[in-house]
Structure 1
Amino acid sequence: MEYHVNGKTIPADEEGYITNLADWDKDVALEIAKSEGIEMDDERWEVVNFLRDYYDEYQIAPAVRVLIKAIKKSMGPEKGNNKYLYELFPYGPAKQACKIAGLPKPTGCV
């Protein structure tokens, strides 16, 4: 699988996760989001940017429980909960948001 963004071809695995983290930028994120049927807005960007910062710090893409706990700690309980995050990313906040953020598939996600 691959994405075509601004005249570049971005390789991805069979599930749509890009294979080289350095290929990611906001345009790539928008293309991945479009392929997932997601319209990026401020709330979704907030989660995607949070995930990228988390990955920079810990070198791992968090599973959903860890993600919810980290967002709750950082942004408060109104955003750090299952309901809110699943509304933003219906196919799984960790899985789908990590894909859009250009990160590897989170550990523990099937």
Structure 2
Amino acid sequence: MSIEVNGKTIETDEEGYLVNRADWTQDVAAAIAKADNLEMTDSHWGLIDAVREHYRKHQQRLKCNDLVHLLGTHLKKTPHEVRHDVNKHLYQLFPHSPEKQIAKIGGLPKLLPADTE
């Protein structure tokens, strides 16, 4: 499969993840989001940027619980205090699965079954 972005063909797998992560740009991310029926806002981009930065530093994706912890720390609250609100917000932004959609739009590796345990 593939998507067209700025006159260039970008290869994706059957689920829409980039075949070559080096192809990622904000324009590519916006095209992937559009294919998922998402219109990117500053909130979407902020999460994408934070998760990409974490991956760049640690070569590890953030799981949903890690996202809750990261956002709770940013808000200076314990994860328990913000868990419900953050989960609700994440699913409002990325309704099909925050972990999967953030990874896909962010050009990160696909979530594997072992990653969900």
Which category of TM-score, normalised to the shorter sequence, fits these structures? Answer: 0.7 to 0.9
Whole-angstrom distance in 2 between the partners of 1:71 and 1:50: 10
- CA-based RMSD: 2.1
- Of 78-87 and 33-42, deviating more is 78-87
Residues 1-110 of structure 1 aligned to structure 2 (within 5 Å): 1-75=1-75, 81-107=86-112, 108-109=115-116
Whole-angstrom distance in 1 between the partners of 2:46 and 2:17: 19
Larger helix share, 1 or 2: 2
CA deviation string 1:40-69 (max 9, x = no partner): 010111111111101101112222122222
- Structure 1 stretches of 4+ with a deviation exceeding 4 A read 75-80
Give, as a single letter, the amino acid of the residue that structure 1 aligns with 2:37: G
Which ranges in structure 1 are unaligned for 5 or more consecutive residues? Answer: none
Give, as a single letter, the amino acid of the residue that structure 1 aligns with 2:10: I
On the 8 A contact 1:62/1:106 being kept in 2, the answer is: no
Identical positions, percent: 42
Could you say what secondary structure the match of 2:103 adopts? helix
CA deviation string 1:14-55 (max 9, x = no partner): 111101111000100110000000000101111111111011
Give, as a single letter, the amino acid of the residue that structure 2 aligns with 1:22: A
Q: 1:91 to 1:45 in 2, by over 3 A?
A: same
Whole-angstrom distance in 1 between the partners of 2:3 and 2:75: 32
Using the size of structure 2 for normalisation, the TM-score is 0.83
Which ranges in structure 2 are unaligned for 5 or more consecutive residues? Answer: none
Whole-angstrom distance in 2 between the partners of 1:20 and 1:97: 16
Using the size of structure 1 for normalisation, the TM-score is 0.88
Count, aligned residues? 110
Whole-angstrom distance in 1 between the partners of 2:74 and 2:111: 19
Asked which structure has the greater CA Rg, the reply is 2
